[in-house]
Amino acid sequence: MKKLFLSSVMLIGALSLQAQLRNDDVYELTHIDRSNIRNEISIPGFDGYQTLKCDFHIHTIFSDGDVWPNVRVQEAWREGLDAIAITDHIEYRPRKEILKGDLNESFKIAKKEADNRGFIVIQGTEITRSKPLGHLNALFINDANPMDVKDPLKAIDVALEQGAFILWNHPGWPDDKSTLYPVHEELLKANKIHGVEVLNYMEYYPVAFDWCNKYGIAPFANTDIHGLISGDYGVKEGRMRPMTLVFATSKSEEGIKEALFARRTAALFDGKLFGQEEYLMKLIQASLQIRVINGRTVEITNISDIPYEMTNSGNLYYFPARKTVRFTVPKEGDMVFENCFVGLNQKLTIPDHYWSMAF
Ligand SMILES: [Zn+2]
Ligand SMILES: [Zn+2]
């Protein structure tokens, strides 16, 4: 009996290192709980801008997603994002007979969760039509219900009256052709399309990035997620979802909106970055910190979570995320950032006269 008592005491002692006693019958294994732990994604800002990590295309169970809206906020908060938009379809709601909420309901549920966490959720909706028009997200709206109209161009106008940012979604889906039809040309001319998805889910549309430069619209990378983020992009791999980087003057909905209309975005997925030359150059300058050791021998510390690959005169140099690399600055030749795109098939290039003077 005495022996049994002793071993019970020892067991309690061992457990109490990691468990919290709720009562004599129940131990709570709090050390396992990850629900209140957030990953931090490190991507520096520049010129007074913060770099915000955002996903502007997300579905919930209120359209054809599999997930309740508050889970979308929990996923994004945990992953280390700064903002998401809830963009359920207007025209495709296979569960509307079961879920009675109107077109604003999913946003309202997500917003409640976001407010509890100090997280930003933007109200949006997806105007969902066949090609040639295709799908468009209206972001920063305040009521999606009046957009449920027969004429999609009318729906766009209603969104614009609410001050919406109009994003052209997945231009290469579903027919594997990225086509800019006359209706898009008209909308672009009238300043009624403000951005386009260069990356959506696991697809990349190179031509769409060319339209960003040609028409002065902002590049985006979004998930268009319907299932669980961890289910589709994995957990253990540590891969980040597609995200739109927003160079904003403040971490707020207003700050994001101002930056989107000013075209200060870059699209990031699978280690590849797409954006205007000016912003990518500054992002790299802020990310790769140089410490001169001796002459042309330097250490380069990549303080960001974006790995960079650079070539010079046929040699490949790799600057992994959050690592320091010993590096001998080449004598000559352009530096080409192989994973940074500033135009169609055009990589960010730092001409040798720009940097060779420094060494
Ligand atoms: Zn869509
Ligand atoms: Zn969608």
Same domain, 323 and 228: no
* pLDDT attached to residue 359: 62
Same domain, 118 and 222: yes
CB atoms closer than 10 angstroms to residue 305: 18
Distance from the alpha carbon of residue 222 to the mean position of ligand 2, in angstroms: 9
Buried b (16+ CB within 10 A) or exposed e, 34-45: eeeeeeebebbe
38 in a domain, yes or no? no
Query: Which one of the ligands is nearest to 63 CA?
Result: 2
108 in a domain, yes or no? yes
Same domain, 97 and 193: yes
Helix (H, G, I), strand (E, B) or coil at 100: coil
Query: Which one of the ligands is nearest to 125 CA?
Result: 2
- Which CATH number fits the domain that encloses residue 240? 3.20.20.140
What residues does the ion ligand 2 have nearby, CB within 5 Å? 126, 224
Distance from the alpha carbon of residue 196 to the mean position of ligand 1, in angstroms: 12
* pLDDT attached to residue 251: 98
* pLDDT attached to residue 7: 52
Of 216, 249, 272, the residue that ends a domain is 272
Q: Rounded to an integer, what distance in angstroms lies between the CA atom of residue 36 and that of residue 44?
A: 24
Same domain, 244 and 306: no
Same domain, 296 and 344: yes
Residues of the chain with pLDDT under 50: 1-2, 6, 9, 13-16
301 in a domain, yes or no? yes
Task: State the pTM of this model.
Answer: 0.93
Which stretch of DSSP H or E encloses residue 69?
A: helix 69-79
Same domain, 109 and 205: yes
Phi, psi of 306 (to 5 degrees): -100, 115
Phi, psi of 242 (to 5 degrees): -60, 135
Distance from the alpha carbon of residue 3 to the mean position of ligand 1, in angstroms: 67
Query: Which one of the ligands is nearest to 226 CA?
Result: 2
Distance from the alpha carbon of residue 248 to the mean position of ligand 2, in angstroms: 25
Of 229, 244, 272, the residue that ends a domain is 272
Helix (H, G, I), strand (E, B) or coil at 231: helix
CB atoms closer than 10 angstroms to residue 18: 11
Same domain, 309 and 250: no
* pLDDT attached to residue 18: 62
Distance from the alpha carbon of residue 297 to the mean position of ligand 1, in angstroms: 50
Same domain, 298 and 266: no
Same domain, 120 and 168: yes
Distance from the alpha carbon of residue 294 to the mean position of ligand 1, in angstroms: 54
Distance from the alpha carbon of residue 126 to the mean position of ligand 1, in angstroms: 7
The beta-strand segments (E) located in 206-345 are 218-222, 243-248, 265-269, 272-275, 288-294, 297-302, 308-312, 315-319, 324-328, 335-343
42 in a domain, yes or no? no
Distance from the alpha carbon of residue 277 to the mean position of ligand 2, in angstroms: 29
40 in a domain, yes or no? no
Same domain, 210 and 250: yes
* Structure-token pair, residue 49: 């801008």
Same domain, 123 and 223: yes
* Structure-token pair, residue 187: 């909308």
158 in a domain, yes or no? yes
| Residue 20 belongs to domain spanning | 2-32
Distance from the alpha carbon of residue 260 to the mean position of ligand 2, in angstroms: 19
On the CB side of 62, CA atoms within 13 Å amount to 27
Same domain, 119 and 217: yes
Count the domains in the chain.
3
39 in a domain, yes or no? no
45 in a domain, yes or no? no
